[in-house]
Amino acid sequence: MKTARIIFTGGFLGAGKTTLLREAAQRLMKQGFNVGLITNDQAPELVDSMLLSKHGLKVSEVSGSCFCCNFNGLTAAIQHLRTESATDIIIAEPVGSCTDLSATIMQPLKQFRSRELNIAPLSVLADPARLTAILDGGNAGLHDDAAYIYRKQLEESDIILITKSDLLTRQEADALQKRTAQAYPHADILTVSAVTGDGIDRWLDEALKRNDAGLRLADVNYDIYARGEAVLGWLNGSVRIKGEATEWDAFIHDFLAELSNRFDANNYSVGHVKIIAESGSRYITGNITGLGDTLSLRGSIGKSNEIKLVINARVETAPEELDKIIKESLNNLTDNKYSTEVIAWRHLQPGRPNPAHRFVKVVQDSHNYID
């Protein structure tokens, strides 16, 4: 079996990973490559997997824990894509609140899977607004311990991708790129926009040609890391809503707007809220990645009597509070008008990271790791 190229793309919640990876995968497919994607989450019912599949992409999902804590699940997903889909290139998206990827994923794969995988440099995506706040010495609206994770992601990167460059002027993008390079001189700093396509081909060229993967290990305090993940409440749920014919685009906007208003009113920092609603072959996606002005929608359902709605939320509050807010907001819109059937619903707080492998030195030709 031929060797496959694997590209890991990390970055904190809300950095725009899924949108960029979809565009990147489609570009690679137009060049004749057979591309597969691996998504990752602490729970099933993942919006990212559904959305990528709707764009005709081959997707394998590792759910229930992060890549590092379920290394066997990751390698099984890789093997599935290689054997079932004969992929040339695999793009893997770790959980947005994970760090220490170089020590727990990159080095083990270099050590144990080098004959079947050609590993690309570790790319870490950074939203320009949060990145600017971090460079200014702040926490970008995050809890101190969550901001610690953000910084560690940048520290271990081989390539830092400043995303959403379409929101910046050329001068602003150049200035942010220069500041980031000064703060993280070990990494190559690139700017990309999934909306305009600017910078994507250059990044893919770097990711496909370079072999200097996982060149550094971050010094990660796992007590702080665990607290940083634990400040986030997680919720994944899916429901079927039936009733009178409804303009669902407006319904979805109002639902996200109410959620955003409640989170802002309580000063609950939003990692991300993602939803996808579908009716037949039509669907709409929505996102919140911070305060209310980050609300965005893409696609359209129009008018129908029924939708399936999938919700993924990562918000700095107790999972029970997150569950309460989302259920109440949904009930406010559906009460006395619709019947709501819960298909799957889970809220949780991530446990302490417990990686299957954690290397203490960068792998060259020697076996430098601890289990």
Question: What is the reported pLDDT for 336?
Answer: 81
Burial 340-371 (b: 16+ CB within 10 A, else e): beeeebebeebeebebbbbbeebbeeeeebee
Q: Which amino acid is at 329?
A: S
Q: Does domain 233-348 have CATH number 3.40.1000?
A: no
Question: What is the reported pLDDT for 186?
Answer: 94
Topology adopted by domain 4-228+352-370: Rossmann fold (3.40.50)
- Find residue 369's DSSP bridge partners: 359
- Residue 41 dihedral angles phi and psi, to the nearest 5°: -160, 165
Q: pLDDT digit string (tens) for 72-94? A: 999 999 999 999 888 999 999 99
Q: pLDDT digit string (tens) for 311-322? A: 999 999 999 999
Rg (alpha carbons) of the chain, rounded to whole number: 20
Question: What is the reported pLDDT for 14?
Answer: 86
DSSP for 218-242, written as a single string:
----HHHHHHHHHTSEEEEEEEEEE
Question: What is the reported pLDDT for 367?
Answer: 38
Domain ranges of the chain: 4-228+352-370, 233-348
Q: pLDDT digit string (tens) for 333-348? A: 998 889 999 999 999 9
**Nearest CA among 56, 55, 77 for reference residue 66:** 77
Q: What is the mean pLDDT of each run of 10 residues along the chain (371 residues)?
A: 91 90 94 94 77 85 90 95 92 94 96 93 96 96 95 98 95 97 97 95 96 93 96 95 94 96 94 94 91 86 95 96 97 91 94 95 62 40
Question: What is the reported pLDDT for 56?
Answer: 83
Topology alike, domains 4-228+352-370 and 233-348: no
DSSP for 19-38, written as a single string:
HHHHHHHHHHHHTT--EEEE
